[in-house]
Amino acid sequence: MANLVVEVLEANDLMPKDGHGSASPFVEVEFQGQRQRTSTKPKTLNPSWNEKLIFNVKNPQDIPNQTIEVVVYNDNKRGHHKNFLGRVRISGISIPLPDQDILVQKYPLDKRGIFSHVRGDIALKVYASTELEEINTTPHYNEKNKKKKKVKEVKTFHSLAAAAAAISGGGDGGATTVMQTQSPPQKSEYAVVETKPPLAARLGYWGRDKTASTYDLVEPMNFLYVHVVKAMDLPVKDVTGSLDPYVEVKVGNYKGVTRHFEKNQSPVWDKVFAFSKERLQSSLIEVFVKDKDISKDDFVGKVTFDVPDVPERVPPDSPLAPQWYKLVDKKGDLLKRGDIMLAVWMGTQADEAYPDAWHSDAHEVSQSSMKDTRSKVYFSPKLCYLRVHIFSAQDLVPADDTRELDPIVRIELGTQGRTTRPATVKGVNPEWNDELMYVAWEPFNENVVVSVEDKNVVIGRAYIPLRNVKQRAESAKFPDAQWFPLIKIRLAEDQEEAKKDKFASRILLRLSLDAGYHVHYESTQFSSDLQPSAKILRKSSIGILEVGILGARNLQAMKAKDGKLTDAYCVAKYGNKWVRTRTLLDNLHPCWNEQYTWEVFDPCTVITIGVFDNCHINGGDSTDQRMGKLRIRLSTLESDRLYTHAYPLLVITPSGLKKNGELHLAIRFTCTAWSKMIAQYGKPLLPKMHYIQPISIKHIDLLRHHAINTVAAKLSRAEPPLRTEVVEYMVDVDAHIFSMRRSKANFHRMMLLFTAIQYIYTWFEGICLWKNPLTTILVHILFLILVCYPELILPTCFIYLFVIGLWNYQFRPRVPPHMDARLSQAENARPDEIDEEFDNFPTKRETDVVRNRYDRLRTVAGRVQSVAADAAIQGERVLALLNWRDPRATAIFIVFSLIWAVFLYVTPFQIVVLLIGLYIMRHPKLRYKMPPVPVNFFKRLPSRSDSLL
């Protein structure tokens, strides 16, 4: 017989119920009518049980359809009374497959009703077993006999999945919700898990620690800072009388070194070293001054400090003032000359010196590669659309006088180059009347290069400074067109003839910087900024987004081939602000604990966060490897709520779906202007110019490609660079490329939309077939009331919608959106589909492979074609009712329409609706299995499919 085992481990931060600020909690678990409970832990809000409750399972195949209910109670008066402390409902479908280890899952306790006061979470393990062995465990109690039992050790098959229904604490899955479309639950390892890290924002010790008020979404990390400023009057060591000094700061096995100065006895280093307090292996800080030499560096002097005596500094206090210290020799005696200026203090990651300091985590990195490990904030360049209208030209000088001039105009801005259509009027005075658009960027130092070409030969060129082009905001009026002189491109021997030219060629152009548009360089579905380019058109912020990048766990060893682990860093992007955490070397469980803030102007925007493996340490030249990313739409976050979750890092590789670990984040969205935020839902998504003078989708895609290249080029020139592969991954540069996996995912998304319609149809079919007589009678009563009082129809519909929304509140999502492997069709993607997704464009695969893929694509396209044809046929049949394509059918319909018009004229409308409704909901005994007459008549109507070749 199979068994279900529920391990009740512990609970945290329960609600006090005994009137003295405490509680005596115990846990009851119910499954398939079996109810068991744990022992009572008196006077504690953080109980620890570590007890196993075993339930018999009659039919293991019924587990996915069952619900495990875990309820925490407070024991009053020796078990005669109990107070509700919270509950968790776990869907049986979340019991995982038997190929993973047991994992502890923490679930937030849910309310029983609207007026319940509940807080805290409970840690559980739930798994199935078939074989039992003897174990020793704490006694548990059965509600019927309450006798002590000995249970046996369980051979586990799988750990409990963090299913969405369980995490949200909402009922027994999506079946209980109304009018909600949900995809099947994904594997537990791909689910989001809520965590409870000890953050200042949750523990509530603001004001006690200044660091906590600044960095309240991350855990404080303590560092020992040593600021080496400069030295003075150092003694010489070389025979030549010169000194090449540098400083070595040593704490245990960690050693940081400054650069050396040649022949300088009073050098200035201004270098900060940061040593993680958790990894300090010594209580002594040694600062050595040495002389750089070819063979062996000479000792000059040193200064020592005791770690317990180092003062603590908490921002926003002013930086610690450095002091002069006398150098001592190896024996500890003062040197006759030589002083060094230092500042030593204990601080956190909130310290101003933290971003630019040398970190002990990167002690193996060379000085030149140190920049690639720093945390930085970047701002993408301000982009703007450049519109160029080419009208005509005058007095062009052809390169070949023997034929008629047929010129075109080529306009270039940076790496962007496009040509006009052929001239509508040819000759030396051609006309084009064509318009081109480009992506420009501040500070607008580039030149617009206008070239007039004839048969790929440049016959004239103009250079227009971009800073001289007028900006156009919301005004629909374009600036006036201007004539620009063309410089004739001639050979050196023709320069004398060029001076004799009486007339100069010129071209008529209208240029404008259209700052009223928003320049798309992200995928439109995942846009993080919808503001126009013009500053005067931008609205004030509506809130603040705070993100604490806590760390990652269980990362994959991306450099296993090189004998190393992973050099991970995290990148977050929202609006034009990009942030990059520091790189933690050779670590599968990095802890960044860095907090960043963004202004929010629109709640319907998305923040993107990705994790990468740094491959540029110590001179590496390969691209940084993608480890996974996630997107969170701000409108799905509750205001002022702190979200702390571990998100799976999923990425599609040529070998299939791969999980590279979990990313731990703390996220909080704070609304500062509720009225403005609510008003945003009624405003257009894009700026006004997109609707007054819309840009075609074709041009938007082309301009987005140029915008991505511009942003990637600018960010790659920063220090440290945010490289092109990172930017392209964060903005989904390949989202438009065909993928069979994406096509399947979008098809399933579309099918999920019909589940609500299918649900309503199934429910109404059950009413018509009298499957539940009581429900059917109630529907008939409601139908009769609405027919007798038709003015109640619309109010009843809206009341019904209100009740549905209120009922679904208890099933609302409790976790932010995340990458769904099941919805993305990533779990079941075939290897050939993955290989096709990673193939270049144009393809480089063999002919047979391409032929098979083409045949498969034809099969899928054939199904889409059939669906489109069916939809077209139904529409054409509706039109055929009155277009006399079938004379007899149209005659029948119009006669029938006349009869119905007379009947409706003499019959009250309520009677008609009543008869139709009662006929539709008639009893099954009065029904026929054959289709009704109207359906047969409609299917016989002609369509235009007969006219297709």
Q: Confirm whether 508 is domain-assigned.
A: yes
**Cβ pair 639, 545 in contact under 8 A:** no
Looking up tokens 């107070």 gives: 83
Q: Which of 348, 363, 392 is the last residue of a domain?
A: 348
Which is nearest to 54 in space by CA: 145, 165, 141, 175?
A: 141
Count how many residues are written for the chain: 949
**Cβ pair 489, 459 in contact under 8 A:** yes
Which is nearest to 32 in space by CA: 1, 73, 75, 3?
A: 3
Q: Which of 80, 101, 129 is the last residue of a domain?
A: 129
Q: Which of 85, 104, 129 is the last residue of a domain?
A: 129
Same domain, 328 and 457: no
Residue 574 has what pLDDT? 94
Tell me the CA distances in angstroms from 625 to 569, 737, 882, one per residue in order.
Answer: 11, 20, 63
Buried b (16+ CB within 10 A) or exposed e, 710-741: bbbebbeebebbbbbbbbbbbbbbeeeeebbb
Q: Confirm whether 519 is domain-assigned.
A: no
pLDDT in tens, 491-529: 434 445 444 454 578 999 999 999 999 998 888 778 899
Same domain, 330 and 263: yes
Residue 171's beta-bridge partner residues? none
Residue 303 has what pLDDT? 93
Strands (E), 252-398: 254-257, 268-276, 284-291, 298-306, 323-328, 334-348, 358-359, 376-379, 383-394
Same domain, 767 and 676: no
Same domain, 756 and 726: no
Query: Which residues does 211 contact at the CB level (< 8 Å), separation at least 6?
Result: 220, 314, 315, 348, 350
Same domain, 565 and 670: yes
Q: What is the DSSP string of 808-867?
A: HGGG---S-----TTTTT-SS--HHHHHHHTS-SS--S-HHHHHHHHHHHHHHHHHHHHH
Same domain, 746 and 813: yes
Looking up tokens 């259509």 gives: 421
CA distance 451 to 395: 15
CA distance 505 to 338: 74
Apex CA 673: angle with CA 668 and CA 674, to 5°?
Answer: 85
Same domain, 838 and 815: yes
CA distance 764 to 766: 5
**Cβ pair 439, 429 in contact under 8 A:** no
The total of structural domains in the chain comes to: 5
Tell me the CA distances in angstroms from 276 to 224, 340, 346, 376, one per residue in order.
Answer: 6, 24, 10, 19
Residue 152 has what pLDDT? 36
| Residue-number span of the structural domain to which 321 is assigned | 222-348
Which is nearest to 377 in space by CA: 598, 146, 657?
A: 598
Q: Confirm whether 213 is domain-assigned.
A: no
Same domain, 725 and 763: no
Apex CA 605: angle with CA 600 and CA 610, to 5°?
Answer: 100
Tell me the CA distances in angstroms from 585 to 15, 359, 558, 611, 627, one per residue in order.
Answer: 42, 11, 12, 14, 15
CA distance 162 to 158: 12
Same domain, 480 and 554: no
- Full-model pTM: 0.71
CATH number of the domain enclosing 96? 2.60.40.150
Residue 1 has what pLDDT? 58
**Cβ pair 645, 121 in contact under 8 A:** no
Q: Longest C-alpha distance within the chain, in Å?
A: 124
Q: Confirm whether 238 is domain-assigned.
A: yes
Residue 626's beta-bridge partner residues? 612
Apex CA 561: angle with CA 559 and CA 562, to 5°?
Answer: 70
CA distance 653 to 316: 46
Q: Confirm whether 356 is domain-assigned.
A: no
Strands (E), 455-542: 457-465, 471-472, 482-485, 506-514
Q: Are strands 457-465 and 431-441 parallel, antiparallel or unpaired?
A: unpaired
Same domain, 343 and 442: no
Residues of the chain with pLDDT under 50: 131-182, 206-211, 491-495, 497-500, 502
Same domain, 672 and 780: no
**Cβ pair 132, 67 in contact under 8 A:** no
Same domain, 724 and 767: no
Residue 412 has what pLDDT? 93
Q: Confirm whether 394 is domain-assigned.
A: yes
Q: Confirm whether 83 is domain-assigned.
A: yes
